[in-house]
Amino acid sequence: MATAEESLRKCLSEKLSAVEIQSNTVRSLKSSSAPKPDIDAAVQALNALKLEKSSIEKSLESLLSASGSNSRKAFRKSVVNTLKRRFFYNSSFQIYGGEAGFFDYGPPGSAVKYNVLSFWRQHFMLEEKMLEVDCPCVTPEVVLKASGHVEKFTDLMVKDEKTGTCYRADHLLKDYCNQKLQEDLTLSSEKAAELKHVLAMLDGFSSQELGAKIKEYGITAPETKNPLSDPYPFNLMFQTSIGPSGSARGFMRPETAQGIFVNFRDLYHYNRDKLPFAAAQIGQAFRNEISPRQGLLRTREFTLAEIEHFVDPEDKSHPKYAKVADLEFFMFSREEQMSGQSAKKIRLGEAVSKGIVNNETLGYFIGRVYLFLTRLSIDKDRLRFRQHLANEMAHYAADCWDAEIECSYGWIECVGIADRSAYDLLAHSEKSGVPLVAHEKFSEPKEVEKLVITPIKKELGLAFKGSQKMVVEALEAMREKEALDMKAALESKGEVEFEVCTLGKTVTINKSMVSIHTEKKKEHQRVFTPSVIEPSFGIGRIIYCLFEHTFYTRQSEAGDEQLNVFRFPSLVAPIKCTVFPLVKNQEFEEVANLISESLTAAGIWHMIDITGTSIGKRYARTDELGVPFAITVDSTTSVTIRERDCKDQVRVDVENVATVIREVTEGQRTWEDLLKLSGVLTACASQPAASDSVSSAEFEKIMG
Amino acid sequence: MATAEESLRKCLSEKLSAVEIQSNTVRSLKSSSAPKPDIDAAVQALNALKLEKSSIEKSLESLLSASGSNSRKAFRKSVVNTLKRRFFYNSSFQIYGGEAGFFDYGPPGSAVKYNVLSFWRQHFMLEEKMLEVDCPCVTPEVVLKASGHVEKFTDLMVKDEKTGTCYRADHLLKDYCNQKLQEDLTLSSEKAAELKHVLAMLDGFSSQELGAKIKEYGITAPETKNPLSDPYPFNLMFQTSIGPSGSARGFMRPETAQGIFVNFRDLYHYNRDKLPFAAAQIGQAFRNEISPRQGLLRTREFTLAEIEHFVDPEDKSHPKYAKVADLEFFMFSREEQMSGQSAKKIRLGEAVSKGIVNNETLGYFIGRVYLFLTRLSIDKDRLRFRQHLANEMAHYAADCWDAEIECSYGWIECVGIADRSAYDLLAHSEKSGVPLVAHEKFSEPKEVEKLVITPIKKELGLAFKGSQKMVVEALEAMREKEALDMKAALESKGEVEFEVCTLGKTVTINKSMVSIHTEKKKEHQRVFTPSVIEPSFGIGRIIYCLFEHTFYTRQSEAGDEQLNVFRFPSLVAPIKCTVFPLVKNQEFEEVANLISESLTAAGIWHMIDITGTSIGKRYARTDELGVPFAITVDSTTSVTIRERDCKDQVRVDVENVATVIREVTEGQRTWEDLLKLSGVLTACASQPAASDSVSSAEFEKIMG
């Protein structure tokens, strides 16, 4: 695409120059009163050039809109309209004009969310016997200082220098680049390439880099066109205070993971002091976005489902790894991204064995996430696992992959799967003074060599007087490698330069000031800080992508309307079936109520629609909610069940309806099984077709 | 009890006086050097009196501790110790010293909570086809101003005048009274009665009344004994600000109900503009308690499950009322409370028909709440429905009942069931300007008489000049009754005094200034604000009471230990079964893993315990988590299943285990059914007892 766009931009800019030159020619011919045929010929040439120019413009426009956002925007509009009209979700506090970044799930949306979370519990927690915790959202400052959020959980913000209105700095730059690229046809291909490069690098820009670009491009406040301040960090946590005194700072948690880390000791104990184990938490998280947008994808409050899988850093194998190793899906490694390639389908086992994925446990969870998302009916061709680039990843992380789902907004990070090494437990150990460690008991004591550093205080006192204490502490705090280096240097040179951070300077240490030697010791156990592998799920994002991936439109029977359908699998569908009496009549209504009672007893979420509307309209209404099955009561003994997508129907005895619906929605039986058993009723049966009906006796057999 | 305590207090105070008098006698005899026999006799009498006094003291002490809290405290200690040791829950942020009023649920506690909420969804939402919503916790100020929370969601607080430490005023007074009553044996029976009266009335005390009592009793700050400030209101909402500017005030919601009210219009529309319907929300709520205590019963963040059932105020019947009318349980009506009686067992139908319960819908929900709580295994003899007294109830409420559960802290309000009339919808309509109303379409238009108020602006202008506008508005805003009164007064007296709030004074209105008359109009529908009946569940409180009601201890087999058991029904149990290989051996472990896989496939939450500990110890461990069934692998073909409470065992083939466990935990089959089928194994079978085993063939039959 890039090359076609590039050459079109080049052509266009050449053509523009040609038009300008020819215009000047025409003008000068006219002003010099040249002969009419000359002028006419020049005008004709100019018109021909203009025609060529506008043809190139059109090609460029259509290229940009095809690769670009117009059709995607139209699709999104039709999905979101349907979602809001049927109250899957809507902006919160609407009667008060709404509040940006907050959304309410209505009845079908709440049910989809509940179903996704229930399946998450089954697929991850039950399968791995994870330990669940449920911690408060309000969190004291000390916890989030330790985790680094108080200092670093920020976005860069700029202010309208006159009105004080705030904007996210990177959003303004991004919007500027996108708009230029899409709307400015006169952009040179060099300039277009530059803007594309900025878009690609944007996420890694420092405050200075962002500020410089905003100045360079002359970007101003969108509404007022006023100048903007330099970018500065804004902490995204909602702040509050705990207790009546007003002095204890607290925040609404920005993630649920910290609740697991601070409970590590009790969880490890609950797991009988054994590794590996995983803990999980589902709950609300909060992020006071500077300027929320993209609907459900970037909200100020959202549901997270997070797993912290604790492992021995020396053994990151996983006992069930073989179960996922043969899965094949799109992975987008760091190397492929750096070399400008695209995501490739690859066997997970290959990615792990080649070291593209850091370890088996990380690989195992990538595989499980793939199974989870595709079971929900995320399209596997619009799903990829993208590895973080070195500059995206925290310094402590061993490896990190995002499950990205493509929707009308582009590729969206929906699940992050990171090997965070021992970072979080170490941070909380340090801040709280409580060791968050695991133990490996040796079957018999091991003799180990231990490095012993003994500062000679008398000598150090003579040399450093009042600073002696700081030097002693710095010597004692040396890591093994540093101490061995010092030992070697002292042995060879007799003295060595040594940096004492707490003094802010380097001092000279000589042989008499410290003794460094190894000692043999018997140890009964190994004490270590576990590594943690963290799959973290943005539930709202997954649900939004699910909406887009399952949405389609089809013509009404009469061909006069486009009807909306959500192709939800039963697992996800907010309502499993609707019960319709074919015509408004008391007998059929009673049957519908009886069926409803049996569905309730079987634990199946359903609706009754007893409005007098035509059956076609009622089908359309239920399709738009993604209800997989519609039960039409057209007799008092048997009913038809219609499947949403194929629209085929089967006839079932009234007393078997709940069982059949349970079996097809819970997956013990497929719709195809039912079709085979009963024959298909393609026309809507307005009269009972006894011969097609599945009798109770046959069902007894089927259900064995 | 009260009379026994009273007479003992009276006796004791008489005896104390007698001892004092006799002491004086002895002293004066001694100082006047009376004859030794006289002194001896007086001392002997004194000693006799002292003996009697101390005997009365002992009786009073034992009376107070029996009626009182010592045994309850000991019971609570043993429950809470078990709960914390097994990580059902614990104080949050413990490694940082904890934060009062916040609790983490650990693995078994989270599972109990999930089970309670799942059952709540089935029992209430599925059964009534309720419309679920899921709204954010962060709420803009305007919403909570309309609901009244910004102004009125307060507790009265006092401050230590020197250190600034804050206390809840009513807690200090309550603690003072309780301590006096329990520990001060010299308290006169009149004083005791007074303190008891204060305790009973405490909840209704105004700021002035509380302050006066605190002064009267000389109550000081508990730690420092410093004087206390007068009580003043403290708003209990956690405050924050929304967006980057810092100017938009927001709060963490104090209840989930408001999310339903502000969505009324969309929910009514979703329900095809029909009443009645109910909406429901489960989620976190927040309350910045001044000084949290009583563990899980009063926390700063908690889970609520709330239902808002919207009905036509003119028809509060309920179609399913007959299904609960015959339930009989403890109800504690307003009248019984006022006349000092106790709660009585009564048929719900009788309470409704006698008008004790205001209406059928309210009665229906009371019945459903009773079924819900008892199904969870709340003891029906420690459950009562207490009606609010007139002074407890908001002025707009039609009736209100609390489901109270008795635990070691006394009677605890766990569910509130209130008929809130149209209050909430009216409040939000008024503040937002959006009509939150329902429509009843008439089958044919109705002729109705409408009152028309027409202020005569010319006359009003002459009389009130600049204030004319306010008078006109006030006249137009009159309610029907007020306007009819004015009409009558104008007709009889020619003029009337009329209060104009916006002017802050009363004006004189005469006949020429306003015309009030009735007009006939055709109306096609009735427009009205629905009433709302609100059952609101404090999930943490229900769970805590559940813990206390299901906890018991029993002797170990060896008789040397008291073992803890939670008698959770399967519905609630955090883990449905544990799998134990009888001895550590690879074959048994493989079987255990196979069974675990089949349990996972059947969706059953379970644990494996492969430690080498004795089977007795492992049973005790699992009983303490309230696991109903233990599967012991003692052969490779069949296993024993042991029930937690009766400790009976049955033998089941390995391939049938998951099905059997699912049937007994989901309630398709009882434990008794299994015992009958297979015969009881009372001794722990260390060798396979083939004859007692239920074969696959038999199971096929059973499961038909």
pLDDT digits (tens, 9 = 90+) for A619-639: 999 999 999 999 999 999 999
The answer on pLDDT for A684 being more than 90 is: no
Q: Which CATH class is domain A444-526?
A: alpha beta
Give pLDDT tens digits for A341-371. Answer: 889 999 999 999 999 999 999 999 999 999 9
Residues in A touching B286 (Cβ below 8 Å): 137-138
Strand partners, A581: A633
Q: How far is CA B703 from CA A413, A664, B650, in A?
A: 47, 20, 17
In this prediction, residue A680 carries a pLDDT of 56
In this prediction, residue A528 carries a pLDDT of 96
Strand B131-132 vs strand B505-510: parallel, antiparallel, or unpaired?
unpaired
Q: What is the largest CA-CA distance in chain B?
A: 111
- What is the token pair recorded at A234? 């804004």
3-state secondary structure of B102: coil
The DSSP line for B132-179 is E-B--SEEEHHHHHHTTHHHH-EEEEEEBTTT--EEEHHHHHHHHHHH
Among partner residues B90, B103, B113, which is closest to A266 by beta-carbon distance?
B90
In this prediction, residue B299 carries a pLDDT of 96
The answer on pLDDT for B653 being more than 70 is: yes
- In CATH terms, A575-703 corresponds, of 1.10.10.350, 2.60.120.680, 3.30.950.10, 3.40.50.800, to 3.40.50.800
Q: What is the value of pTM for the model shown?
A: 0.85
- Report CB contact under 8 Å: B143, A104: no
Residues in B touching A132 (Cβ below 8 Å): 105, 107, 110-111, 114
Question: How many Å apart are CA B261 and CA B531, to the nearest integer?
Answer: 11
Q: Which amino acid is at A100?
A: A
Among partner residues B113, B121, B138, which is closest to A238 by beta-carbon distance?
B138
Question: How many Å apart are CA B475 and CA B508, to the nearest integer?
Answer: 12
Tell me the pLDDT band of B687, cut-offs 50, 70 and 90. very low
In this prediction, residue A513 carries a pLDDT of 93
ipTM of the complex: 0.85
Give domain limits for chain B. 4-29+38-66, 154-235, 444-526, 575-703
Tell me the pLDDT band of B11, cut-offs 50, 70 and 90. confident
3-state secondary structure of A517: strand
In this prediction, residue A700 carries a pLDDT of 43
Q: Which of residues 405-444 of A touch B (CB under 8 A)?
A: 428, 431-432, 434, 436
Average pLDDT over every residue of B604-624? 92
Question: How many Å apart are CA B640 and CA B653, to the nearest integer?
Answer: 9
Return the residue in B90, B95, B156, B232 with the most chain A beta carbons within 10 A, the one to mutate for interface testing.
Answer: B95
Average pLDDT over every residue of A246-256? 94
Strand partners, A232: A157
- Report CB contact under 8 Å: B132, A142: no
Among partner residues A126, A140, A611, which is closest to B99 by beta-carbon distance?
A140
The chain-wide mean pLDDT, for chain A, equals: 90
In this prediction, residue B33 carries a pLDDT of 87
What sign does the dihedral A649-A653-A658-A659 (CA atoms) show? negative
In this prediction, residue B67 carries a pLDDT of 58
- Report CB contact under 8 Å: A284, B137: yes
Tell me the pLDDT band of A252, cut-offs 50, 70 and 90. very high
Q: Is residue A630 within 8 Å of A619, Cβ to Cβ?
A: yes
Nearest CA in chain B to A425: B95
Contacts 24+ apart (CB under 8 A), B283-286: B283/A284, B283/B134, B283/B135, B283/B137, B283/B256, B283/B259, B284/A137, B284/A283, B284/A284, B284/B137, B285/B137, B285/B252, B285/B253, B285/B254, B285/B255, B285/B256, B286/A137, B286/A138, B286/B137, B286/B237, B286/B238, B286/B252, B286/B253, B286/B254
Return the residue in A134, A307, A598 with the most chain B beta carbons within 10 A, the one to mutate for interface testing.
Answer: A134
- Report CB contact under 8 Å: B241, A243: no
C-alpha distance from B690 to closest chain A C-alpha (Å): 26
Q: Which amino acid is at A147?
A: S
C-alpha distance from A104 to closest chain B C-alpha (Å): 5
- Higher per-residue pLDDT: B447 or B136: B136
Backbone phi and psi for residue A165, each to the nearest 5 degrees, phi listed first: -60, 140
What sign does the dihedral B334-B339-B344-B348 (CA atoms) show? negative
Q: Which of residues 282-341 of B touch A (CB under 8 A)?
A: 283-284, 286, 288, 290, 300-301
A201 contacts: CB under 8 Å, gap ≥ 6: none
- In CATH terms, A154-235 corresponds, of 3.20.20.105, 3.10.129.10, 3.40.50.150, 3.30.40.230, to 3.30.40.230
Nearest CA in chain A to B99: A140
Q: Which of residues 459-478 of B touch A (CB under 8 A)?
A: none
Tell me the pLDDT band of A225, cut-offs 50, 70 and 90. very high
Give pLDDT tens digits for B346-392. Answer: 999 999 999 999 999 999 999 999 999 999 999 999 999 999 988 78
Residues in B touching A286 (Cβ below 8 Å): 137-138
Question: Which of A469-478, B340-349, B475-484 ranks highest by mean pLDDT?
Answer: B340-349
Give pLDDT tens digits for B393-404. Answer: 887 889 999 999
Residues in A touching B434 (Cβ below 8 Å): 95
Average pLDDT over every residue of B245-254? 93
In this prediction, residue B438 carries a pLDDT of 97
Residues in A touching B239 (Cβ below 8 Å): 240-241
Average pLDDT over every residue of B424-429? 95
Residues in B touching A92 (Cβ below 8 Å): 135-136, 259, 262
Element (H, E) at B626: none
Percent of chain A at pLDDT > 70 equals: 95
For chain B, say whether A122 makes contact (Cβ under 8 Å): yes
For chain A, say whether B99 makes contact (Cβ under 8 Å): yes
- Report CB contact under 8 Å: A95, B428: yes
For chain A, say whether B93 makes contact (Cβ under 8 Å): yes
In this prediction, residue A69 carries a pLDDT of 67
Among partner residues B93, B127, B266, which is closest to A140 by beta-carbon distance?
B93
Give pLDDT tens digits for A514-538. Answer: 999 888 888 899 999 999 999 999 9
Closest CA to B199 of B185, B184, B179: B179
In this prediction, residue B683 carries a pLDDT of 38
In this prediction, residue B69 carries a pLDDT of 67
Question: How many Å apart are CA A533 and CA A535, to the nearest integer?
Answer: 7
Average pLDDT over every residue of A311-335? 96
Nearest CA in chain B to A604: B126
- What is the token pair recorded at A157? 């913000």
The answer on pLDDT for B116 being more than 60 is: yes
In this prediction, residue B477 carries a pLDDT of 80
Q: Which of A54-58, A93-97, A113-117, B679-683 has the lowest mean pLDDT?
A: B679-683
For chain B, say whether A139 makes contact (Cβ under 8 Å): yes
- Higher per-residue pLDDT: B110 or B558: B110
Element (H, E) at B48: helix B36-67
Q: Which of residues 2-41 of A touch B (CB under 8 A)?
A: none
Nearest CA in chain A to B540: A134
Tell me the pLDDT band of A66, cut-offs 50, 70 and 90. low
Among partner residues A92, A131, A270, which is closest to B136 by beta-carbon distance?
A92
Tell me the pLDDT band of B9, cut-offs 50, 70 and 90. confident
- Higher per-residue pLDDT: A393 or B590: B590
- Report CB contact under 8 Å: A134, B245: no
For chain A, say whether B243 makes contact (Cβ under 8 Å): yes
